[in-house]
Amino acid sequence: MSFFISDALAQGAEGGQAGTLELILPLLLMFGIFYFLLIRPQQKKAKEHKSMVEALNKGDEIITNGGLLAKITATDDNFLTCRIADNVEVKIQRHAIASVLPKGTIKNL
């Protein structure tokens, strides 16, 4: 049994140098996976939403995050005036827009 103990002591003396690399490598690998699977797609989606919101004009048909279907009647820096029914207009913040619909969608509903 004494030959097992001597091998373990000898191995412990050499393992100290590679320990820091063995600890840092899995952390770097996990960060890389998180970046490509979570962070990068979220940044891409935020950039697309920002460009969509900046491109909104009078006459566009939209869906809000709350589910309202509306047609833009006037634009401002931060708010949009939208018609949701005959003689019913509401002001909506620009960043509360979920998506832009194709022209003529509201007439078909």
Cβ neighbours of 45 (radius 10 Å): 10
Residues β-bridged to residue 74:
81
* Dist CA 82 CA 72 (whole Å): 4
Q: Helix, strand or coil for residue 87?
A: coil
Q: Helix, strand or coil for residue 71?
A: strand
List pLDDT tens digits, range 70-104. Answer: 999 999 999 999 999 999 999 999 999 999 999 98
List pLDDT tens digits, range 7-60. Answer: 555 555 554 556 888 889 999 999 999 999 999 999 999 999 999 999 999 999
* Dist CA 99 CA 55 (whole Å): 12
Contacts for 91 with CB less than 8 Å, ≥ 6 apart: 79, 80, 81, 82
